[in-house]
Structure 1
Amino acid sequence: MKETEKLTATATVKSADRVLDIFELFADRHEPLNLSEISRQLDLPASSAHKLLQNLLARGYLETDKQGKTFRLGYKLFEIGSKYAGRTDMAEEFQYVALKMVDELNESVFMTIRNGEMALYVAEKQSTHPVRFVSHLGMQLPLHATAMGKVLLSGMTDEEIHTLYPDKQLGRLTETTVTDFGELMEQIGRIRVEGVGYSMGESVHGVRCAAAPIYGAPHKITASLGVSMPEARWDPKLWDRIVQAVSLGAKEISMKLYYAR
């Protein structure tokens, strides 16, 4: 190998290490980081860190705020992760549990994980009804506007939630979307006590959802399990069955993921 080729190979490997260092840094932190913090934490020249960050932004592996000053993990990592999840225990357990739930309820079942302020759909099992809520893997909806998203928020501390919404502004998707931060925190408090979250047409008009947390470790919510149904099919007895089924289903997946290990 020529000397120039050796230098290029060494530089390439070093750059790859730095990219992985950036991913690992964000994986250990809940809040966004700015350029100087990343540079300091990884002992990188600011110019080198800036170039790496811009490359990762361009590829979707990082996201930035409106001012372009702080960074966090982007959709691309979660997109890759959701595809890989098709081969993991959690996805396998979801399919097993969701199949039973659809057989019992004939309503659609979903699983989401958190991606910043969004709930990322990573698995689904559809009902046989011609009228149903249909998602696609990789779809994202705001945490505050979905039952599954609220469940994911309930696994965060109040401080972490305030950091996620520093200006306490919540976007509106439908006329029933929760836009008051205080009301959102009240709902999160009830989810922590009751173990189930709800949305009543808050992200998609005419669709109700009940969701429960999936735990991958003690007191750590890894994902959320939800059942969605059109309001046109709603009745109290079916809704009670949905709430019970989603709670039991999430516990079963949690048992398989963590408690049975």
Structure 2
Amino acid sequence: MKLSSVDKSLQVIETLRKNPQGLSIAELSQLLGFPPSTTHHILSTFRPYDYVAQNPETKKYTLGFRFLSISTSILENLDVRKTAYMHLRKLHEKCHEAVHLSILRNGQVTYIDKIQGSSGLSLATYIGFSTDPHAAAGGKVLLSELTSEEIKNIYKNRPLKRYGKNTITSMKQLLEEIKNIRKQGYALDNEEYYEGVRCVASPIRAGGRIAAALSITGSIFSMTMERINRELIAMAIGTAKDISSELRW
């Protein structure tokens, strides 16, 4: 099938998104199978509008700052993010751990807000970060809104990738986990995404459906299982319910 110029342009943008270190025209052309002249034309069209930027030393291209302003506009118009913000701050002040707000988009969990923890634990997550939902507490909460067939369809063409030492890599086990999450109203990530890190998440509901997930993340030393069971599960569930009560969808 012959690709239109718009299709080719979007493929360039998507490839740059997946390669934040930057790519040269030759590297982009090789990855996409485009003639270098086509790649150069697309980049030259985007560059004056700041959709792409070129490093003057390496000559490699990255996404431009225009996408940052676009993403900011999108985030500012998400009702759940605006409603949740003060609740996230209060939760962070109580637990002193990292707090995330996430949604399910195109089969991935996407983080739309984050407050860094006080412990100094460094997490690779950031606003706009997307990853597989099966290995994250927030992702599993979001999957619990879906049917078993819908979950299987998400992973139809990709495996349940292993991230941490306890990542669920079996569909049967994942579906059983999701079943338990629906019953208990929260999800745990015990070194499933990052080794040495635990997370607890709870659903935020609007219009009778799960609209987002709220999660608390910290090291296994500050978030012991005893502390999770004693106070953090209740904090996550309580805050998620408070946010849900303010959403009017």
TM-score, normalised by the number of residues in structure 2: 0.70
Q: Distance in 2 between matches of 1:255 and 1:183?
A: 32
Distance in structure 2 (CA, Å) of the matches to 1:159 and 1:224:
21
Q: Which residue of 2 aligns with 1:246?
A: 236
Pick aligned residue for 1:232 from 217, 221, 232: 221
SS of residue paired to 1:227: strand
- In the alignment, what sits opposite 2:193? 203
Gaps of 5+ in 2: 18-31, 33-66
Root-mean-square deviation (CA, aligned residues, Å) is 2.9
1:85 aligns with 2:39: no
Would you say 1:150 and 2:140 are equivalent positions? Answer: yes
Q: What amino acid does structure 2 have at the position aligned with 1:99?
A: R
Report how many aligned residue pairs link the two structures: 200
Aligned to 1:183: 173
The answer as to whether partners of 1:133 and 1:229 remain within 8 angstroms in 2 is: no
Counterpart amino acid of residue 198 in structure 1: L
Partner letter of residue 187 of structure 1? Answer: E
- When residues 206 and 247 of structure 1 are mapped into structure 2, their CA distance, relative to the original with a 3 A threshold, is same
Cα deviation per residue 1:34-84 (whole Å; 9 max; x = unaligned)? xxxxxxxxxxxx86x8554444333339x9xxxx9xxxxxxxx9x955652
| C-alpha distance in 1 between matches for 2:91 and 2:155 | 34
AA partner of residue 192 (structure 1): R
The separation in 2 between residues aligned to 1:135 and 1:103, in whole angstroms, is: 20
Contact 1:133 1:207 in 2 (8 A): no
Q: Does 1:174 align with 2:164?
A: yes
Aligned with residue 212 of structure 2, among 223, 226, 235: 223
- Following superposition, the deviation at residue 91 of structure 1 comes to 1.7
Q: CA deviation at 1:115?
A: 2.6
Distance 2:137 2:228 in 1: 14
Q: CA deviation at 1:102?
A: 1.3
Aligned AA (1:163): N
2:14 aligns with one of 39, 54, 60: 60
Q: Distance in 2 between matches of 1:257 and 1:211?
A: 18
Counterpart among 204, 213, 216 of residue 214 in structure 1: 204
Q: CA–CA distance in 2 between the matches of 1:163 and 1:251?
A: 29
Distance 1:160 1:233, change over 3 A: same
- Equivalent residue number for residue 8 of structure 1: none
Query: Which AA in structure 2 matches 1:203?
Result: Y
- Provide the C-alpha distance between the structure 1 equivalents of 2:219 and 2:176, rounded to a whole number of angstroms: 25
Identity between Structure 1 and Structure 2 (%): 25
Equivalent pair of 1:132/1:230 in contact (CA under 8 Å): no
Q: Corresponding residue for 1:33?
A: none
